[in-house]
Amino acid sequence: MPRFAAIGLDHRHVYDLTAGLLAAGAVCAGHDPETSDPRVLTGFRKRFPDVPAMGRDRLLDDPSIDFVVLCSVPRDRAAMAIRAMRCGKDVMVDKPGVTTPDQLAAVEAAVAETGRIWSVALGRLTSASVQAALAVARSGELGRLVSLTSLAPHRLNRALRPAWFFDRAAYGGIINDIGLHSIDQFLAFADVSDATIAAATIGCFGTAPPGFEDFAEITLRSAAMTGSMRLDWFTPDGLADWGDGRLFLVGTEGTLELRKNLDLLGRPGGDHMFITCKQRTRYDGRADRPVAYYRDFLDDVRDRGGRMAEAGRLFSACRLALRCQAEAYRFVPVTS
């Protein structure tokens, strides 16, 4: 069974990644207790009490450890991933994997140099419902796809956020951070490795501290379809989840709506998919379906079978997110 180490316990996403890998059959050989947020470390130890604490150098130098999971402060992830790859480890990293074009170029060079796997655990990969929607789209049931609309609202949960969360240099900006999910999703549904940026907008609409990016919109085009994406940190506390994420697909023969987090009519859980075509409208709930990403990653670690071979598209998604972030029009809030 592949063995891994959890390094950089700075974001709570480390809980989901570790749990997904353990469920897929991996063994967590240790965790690095160095963190910028002791609450994340406490939560990790509560959830995984049998995973021993070890120093970072010891974990990276251990030849029995096959790969590392990185959830460090985003600006530090590229350097740590490169170090891990040069120590012979594959890497699964939380999004965003990089925060600057120079970091992305360095990661690409390290992958080419070492032959190691570098995978960003994006929402398209870790969501059974998005994978199901992608399968429907590729089956032809919707006809030719012409439009994708993605809504990705998030709850701020200010009390849970460490200081680096509000530092743009640390997280790379709203589009590079949470927008990377949406951009990668568009490339997958359009079945392309790159896209034209039709528009990108970022707003700092008053969420403290001043300058925090709390809203963004992106419009992308491929040769055959368009994609419109909205991201924000405005989910009200009254909602029963951290956000009401949605995906809408329009094809020449049908439409699909995916309610990722919740169903306003009260069906439990998330991953609610509604498909309408010429013959019927149907509902497909995916909340209990397994996610293949963790198993596929472990299989690639074992046999180098190329299941993570979409790295080329991953690099393109990261590059496109960085470009959108850099080129976006910035709204200045109107003050009275």
Mean pLDDT score, 114-129: 93
Clarify whether residues 161 and 184 are in a common domain.
Answer: yes
pLDDT of amino acid 334: 57
Clarify whether residues 77 and 178 are in a common domain.
Answer: no
pLDDT of amino acid 311: 54
Clarify whether residues 9 and 110 are in a common domain.
Answer: yes
Clarify whether residues 171 and 260 are in a common domain.
Answer: yes
Q: Which residue, 154, 230, 202, is CA-closest to 324?
A: 202
pLDDT of amino acid 5: 98
Clarify whether residues 77 and 109 are in a common domain.
Answer: yes
In a domain? residue 35? yes
pLDDT in tens, 57-75: 999 999 999 999 999 999 9
φ, ψ dihedrals at 319, nearest 5°? -65, -40
User: CA quadruple 289, 291, 292, 296: dihedral positive or negative?
Assistant: negative
Q: Which CATH number fits the domain that encloses residue 284?
A: 3.30.360.10
Question: In angstroms, how far is CA 302 from the centroid of its own chain?
Answer: 23
Query: In this predicted model, which residue has the larger pLDDT, 215 or 266?
Result: 215
287 has pLDDT over 60: no
Query: In this predicted model, which residue has the larger pLDDT, 156 or 290?
Result: 156
**Where does the pLDDT of residue 290 fall: very low under 50, low under 70, confident under 90, or very high at 90 and above?**
confident
In a domain? residue 311? no
pLDDT of amino acid 194: 94
Last residue of a domain, one of 85, 104, 121: 121
Query: In this predicted model, which residue has the larger pLDDT, 189 or 268?
Result: 189
pLDDT in tens, 135-174: 999 999 999 999 999 999 999 999 999 999 999 999 999 9
In angstroms, the Cα distances linking 153 to 69, 143, 258, 261, 262 are: 26, 29, 14, 11, 13
Q: What tokens appear for 67 in the block?
A: 């790969």
Q: CA-to-CA distance for 115 and 309, rounded, in angstroms?
A: 12
Q: Which residue, 16, 118, 26, is CA-closest to 302?
A: 26
286 has pLDDT over 90: no
336 has pLDDT over 60: no
Average pLDDT score over the chain:
93
Q: Which residue, 74, 84, 72, is CA-closest to 36?
A: 72
Q: Which residue, 220, 192, 170, is CA-closest to 10?
A: 170
pLDDT of amino acid 288: 61
27 has pLDDT over 80: yes
pLDDT in tens, 234-246: 998 877 777 788 9
18 has pLDDT over 60: yes
DSSP 291-329: PSHHHHHHHHHHH---TTTTHHHHHHHHHHHHHHHHHPE
User: Is residue 48 packed enough to be buried (19+ CB in 10 Å), middle (13-18) or exposed (0-12)?
Assistant: middle
269 Ramachandran zone, left/alpha/beta (phi>0; psi -120 to 50)? left
335 has pLDDT over 90: no
User: Any long-range contacts for 284-287 (C-beta under 8 Å, 24+ apart)?
Assistant: 284/132, 286/128, 286/129, 286/132, 287/128, 287/129
Q: Residue 335: which residues within 8 A CB-CB, separation 6 or more?
A: none
Q: CA-to-CA distance for 171 and 149, rounded, in angstroms?
A: 25
pLDDT of amino acid 306: 83
Q: CA-to-CA distance for 30 and 36, rounded, in angstroms?
A: 18
pLDDT of amino acid 187: 96
Q: CA-to-CA distance for 7 and 184, rounded, in angstroms?
A: 25
- Domain tally, the chain: 2
Predicted TM-score (pTM) of the model is: 0.93
Q: Which CATH number fits the domain that encloses residue 97?
A: 3.40.50.720
**Where does the pLDDT of residue 310 fall: very low under 50, low under 70, confident under 90, or very high at 90 and above?**
low
Residue ranges making up the domain that contains 183: 124-290+324-330
226 has pLDDT over 60: yes
307 has pLDDT over 60: yes
Mean pLDDT score, 195-208: 95
Q: CA-to-CA distance for 121 and 118, rounded, in angstroms?
A: 10
Last residue of a domain, one of 73, 95, 121: 121
pLDDT of amino acid 270: 75
CB 217 within 8 A of CB 229: yes
In a domain? residue 54? yes
Of all residues in the chain, the percent with pLDDT exceeding 70 is 94
pLDDT of amino acid 152: 95
Clarify whether residues 253 and 281 are in a common domain.
Answer: yes
